[in-house]
Amino acid sequence: MQDIRAKPDPAIIMPEPHDPRLTERVTGVDHTGAVVEIRVPVERALTLYLNAQEIVTMMTINDYPEYLAIGYLLNQNMLKPDDVVTGVDYDDDLQVTVVRTERHTNYEHKLKKRTLTSGCAQGTAFGDLMEALEEIDLPNAELRTSWLYAMTKSINTMPSLYLEAGAIHGCVLCQEGRPICYMEDVGRHNAVDKLAGWMYRNRIDPADKVLYTTGRLTSEMTIKTVRMGIPILVSRSGFTAWGVSLARQAGLTLVGRARGKRFVALSGEERIVFDQDPASVEEEAARHRRKGADDD
C-alpha cells in the first residue's frame, strides 16, 4: 500500500478569516440596547473512525478534517509514527472522517479509559500517554529572544479568524521566528492536532521548530507537544502546575505570558539565548490583546 505521506503538500497554511464556511452573522443587542450584528465561528460535529472503529466525535470549525483526524490519532497514540496510512476519506454530508491503515487496529479497551481534560471544547487524553512521554528524547534546540519577539508580533498582527470573530484558539508552528503553519479552532487541542496532522502529512522535521499557542499551558498541551517531538512550547497565556511538572520531566522548554517584550520561562530555560534587548521591543497593541491578556 502507498503511504499518503508520499504526496506532500508544500503549501504553507495561514488563517482564512473571510472563508464564508467558518462564520455566521448573528444579530443581537449591545449594552446600550442598540441592535448589533457580529460574526461568530461555526461549530460542526466531526465523527472520526480509525478503520472500522468509531473513535470520537469532535466539535470543530472543520476547515482541515484530514489533518485533524490524523493529528488526533497521533497525539492519542492510536496512530504510530511508522504506520502506513492508506487513505483518509471525508464525507461532508455525514460529517465523518475515516482514517485507514495497513495495521489492524482495535482500541475498544483504550477508549474505556478516556479521561476528560481541562481543554475547552472537551479534549480527551488517555492514561498510557504518560508512559509514552518517557520514550521521547527531545532534541537540543535553541530559542533566541529575537526569534520569540518576531514570532509573537507576526502572529498577533496576522489576519486571523480570532481577530475577525473571536471565540477561537490558534496554534502556530514556527521556525526561527517565522510562522510556517497556523491553525485555528474552537479548542486549542483541535488546533494543535491539525498541526500534528499537517506535519505528518508533509514529513516536517520537528527538531528545530517552536509551537506557539494562544491557550493555557496545560498538561494536555505539554503532552501533545512532546509527542510531536517539538522541543519548545510558547503561549501568550499562563501555566498549570501539572503542565509545568510534565514539561520539566520531559525536558520541554515552556514559555508563557509572552506578550510584547515580556515572557516567563518555567522549564527548559537553558535553550533560551538572550540576544535582543527587551527595551528595543514594542509593547503589544490593545487591538491585538487576546483572551488571558489581563488575567495571568
pLDDT band at 261 (very low <50, low <70, confident <90, very high): very high
pLDDT confidence of residue 132: 62
pLDDT of residue 94 exceeding 90: yes
Mean per-residue pLDDT for 34-43? 94
pLDDT confidence of residue 9: 45
pLDDT confidence of residue 105: 92
pLDDT confidence of residue 108: 79
Percent of the chain at pLDDT exceeding 90: 69
pLDDT band at 294 (very low <50, low <70, confident <90, very high): very low
pLDDT of residue 138 exceeding 70: yes
pLDDT confidence of residue 202: 92
pLDDT confidence of residue 293: 43
Mean per-residue pLDDT for 67-96? 94
Q: Average pLDDT, whole number, for the chain?
A: 87
Mean per-residue pLDDT for 256-285? 94
Higher-confidence position of 296 and 97:
97
Mean per-residue pLDDT for 258-284? 94
pLDDT digit string, tens, across residues 214-259: 999 999 899 999 999 999 999 999 999 999 999 999 999 999 999 9
pTM above 0.85, yes or no: yes
pLDDT of residue 40 exceeding 50: yes
Higher-confidence position of 6 and 162:
162
SS (H, E, C) the chain: CCCHHHCCCCCCECCCCCCCCCEEEEEEECCCCCEEEEEEECCEEEEEEECCEEEEEEEECCCCHHHHHHHHHHHCCCCCCCCCEEEEEEECCCCEEEEEECCCCCCHHHHCCCEECCCCCCCEECCCHHHHHCCCCCCCCCEEHHHHHHHHHHHHHCCCHHHHHCCCEEEEEEECCEEEEEEEECCHHHHHHHHHHHHHHCCCCCCCCEEEECCCECHHHHHHHHHCCCCEEEECCCECHHHHHHHHHHCCEEEEEEECCEEEEEECHHHEECCCCHHHCCCCCHHHCCCCCCCC
Picking from 82-91, 105-114, 176-185, 257-266, which range would have the lowest pLDDT averaged per residue? 105-114
pLDDT digit string, tens, across residues 5-38: 444 444 588 888 889 999 999 999 999 999 999 9
Percent of the chain at pLDDT exceeding 70: 85
pLDDT digit string, tens, across residues 164-201: 878 889 999 999 999 999 999 998 899 999 999 999 99
pLDDT of residue 122 exceeding 70: no
